[in-house]
Amino acid sequence: MLKRVHFEPSLLPYLLVAPQIIVTIIFFIWPASQALFQSMLVEDAFGLKTEFVWFQNFEELFADPHYWGSFQRTFIFSFLVAGLSMSIALLLATMADRVIKGSGIYRTLLIWPYAVAPAAAGALFFFLFNPTLGFIPYTLQFFGYDWNHKINGDEAMALIIFAAAWKQIAYNFLFFLAGLQSIPKSLIEAAAIDGAGPSRRFWTIIFPLLSPTTFFLLVVNVVYAFFETFGIVDAMTAGGPANSTQILVYKVYNDGFVGLDLGGSAAQSAVLMAIVVALTVFQFRFVEKKVEY
Amino acid sequence: MIENRPLLKIFSHIILILGVIMVAFPLWVTFVASTHDATRMTELPLPLLPGSHFFENLDRVLFVGLYGGDASGMGYMLLNSTIMALMIAIGKIIISLLSAFAIVYFRFPFRMFFFWMIFLTLMLPVEVRILPTFEVVANLGMLDTYWGLTVPLIASATATFMFRQVFLTIPDEMLEAARIDGAGPLRFFKDILLPMSRTNIAALFVILFIYGWNQYLWPLLVTTDQSMYTVVMQIGNMLEAGEEAPQWHLIMMITLLAIIPPVLVVVAMQKLFVQGLTETEK
């Protein structure tokens, strides 16, 4: 933690931490505690009177089927995004680990989507899947399938999953590739001498040895799908049709800024904070230090 | 390579090429759309090969604006995005460097308290505290300013932890030697710590620049004045407009302009990018 050799105590360290601490207090700690406080207030329709109601907002929230619907959708969304992008990334990383020539070029060509903003990724897929003009609906129509995510909620959900997963392939690919390259070659050689073919080697040696990376990526991907996909949802579906793509982060925004239900939105913020804390603790407790680069 | 299996090798290349195509296809379609004119972009099927209107569309988007808009180009939004990304990246690096230096190299009361306070910010992404943070910024009169756009996003636990990690690997003898030579804390920071963590700073810069450039929700909330819009948040506005009066060639041009700068940064500084990604996640 602290260096064995260090400087004498003085005013200087306080000045050094001051900028970060001031920003943290004003823009993190204060708003977060405000959110917790507001989550126990109810404001009347004209915003004239506020009343302290303890946990009534939470009770209403958990009694609200819309909220549970949003919860359920968020879980489905997160795990499908994680599953889809991780399986594609693992397949590509395994292949890239196998080829010797050109693996650098493949890497460059596969990692750039990391830099694309979620909202921009949304725009790409919005255009690609546009029901009247898009390339994919046009193609699907020849197979007799009528794609319209503006009416069909399941298709809208599929659309945001595609866009979110597409963007995350790059990240997963990099970490899987690093994980694969850190597996000792001697283990794989030994298995090859014993007559195990490539697919058997993968499932009995490589995949189990990769499990720390997989586990780490699962947590990171779920966090990503929970909190960083706001831009994708807002740009593509704005939560619709009929709330079918309203994930939790979007609902906080929508109820607070559009619906102006401050107490309810703050209660949702508090629940989200609890989820982030749980995920962060989980990540530090079980995942950290198990991944080698 | 463990053994020579030519068929498997070809298979691997095929899968990889398919992967590259799948990943690049949405961007290709966008690029093609930005090179055609308005009429071509309303005819089915849409083109898959580039047309000849790229520079015309670029000029229109940068200096004139969408048809039926308020006749102002969007070039300034690129400038806003750049300023925002740079302010966030540089600001984060500076305050994290300073606080990591204090926490690693000084013993002072409340040291651990400050450390845990910074750690807390790791758990509070802007998405979960948007409403109260917005109120704070509004009360401080920081709406529609660059400060309002950047400062609330500037505190970063990950950057502080990363620099702490870097400083901890720097041998103690460095400080002893510097002290014998009569260097004070600030001199030591400037002449020894900064040069020794140069590549870490660069790697972090790449990651943070992308992070800042790609912000969407926050600019959407704190800017109401059009002259403060960033290019990424403009995408959302335009997709709505695109439904009413399709100008896909221009909308896709803006999308392209929002995508290219951070992608160029990643591709040009790939090594630093990978280093930054793995370091900040530890």
Q: What is the rounded CA–CA span in Å between residue B267 and residue A107?
A: 10
Fold of B55-282: MetI-like fold (1.10.3720)
Let me know: does A243 contact A66? Beta carbons within 8 Å. Answer: yes
pLDDT value, residue A293: 37
pLDDT value, residue A259: 73
B163-192 residues touching A, CB cutoff 8 A: 167-168, 172, 175-176, 179, 185-186
Give the residue among A60, A119, A61, A70 at the shortest CA–CA distance from A242: A70
Would you call A7 and B185 a contact, using CB atoms and an 8 Å cutoff? yes
Would you call A6 and B129 a contact, using CB atoms and an 8 Å cutoff? no
The yes-or-no verdict on residue A143 having pLDDT over 80 is yes
Alpha helices by DSSP H, listed for chain B, are: 6-33, 54-59, 75-105, 111-121, 130-139, 146-150, 157-169, 172-180, 185-188, 194-196, 198-213, 217-222, 231-244, 248-268, 270-281
**How many contacts does A have with B, using Cβ atoms within 8 A?**
310
Better pLDDT: A284 or A155: A155
Let me know: does B192 contact B178? Beta carbons within 8 Å. Answer: yes
Would you call A27 and B155 a contact, using CB atoms and an 8 Å cutoff? yes
pLDDT value, residue A83: 93
Nearest-by-Cβ selection for A106 from B3, B20, B214:
B20
Nearest-by-Cβ selection for A227 from B2, B99, B125:
B125
Closest chain A residue to B213, measured at CA: A117
- What are the structural domain ranges in chain A? 64-287
The yes-or-no verdict on residue A291 having pLDDT over 60 is no
B102-161 residues touching A, CB cutoff 8 A: 102-108, 111, 114, 117-118, 120-125, 127-133, 135-137, 151-152, 154-155, 160
Would you call B122 and A280 a contact, using CB atoms and an 8 Å cutoff? yes
B18: pLDDT confidence band, cut at 50, 70 and 90? very high
Question: CA A102, A106, A108, A114: dihedral to nearest 10 degrees?
Answer: -160
Superfamily of chain region A64-287: MetI-like (1.10.3720.10)
pLDDT value, residue B2: 62
Would you call B282 and A32 a contact, using CB atoms and an 8 Å cutoff? no
- What are the structural domain ranges in chain B? 55-282
Would you call A13 and B16 a contact, using CB atoms and an 8 Å cutoff? no
The yes-or-no verdict on residue B1 having pLDDT over 70 is no
Q: What is the rounded CA–CA span in Å between residue A130 and residue A156?
A: 11
* Nearest CA distance, A272 vs chain B (angstrom): 6
Residue B271 contacts A, CB cutoff 8 Å:
no
B46: pLDDT confidence band, cut at 50, 70 and 90? confident
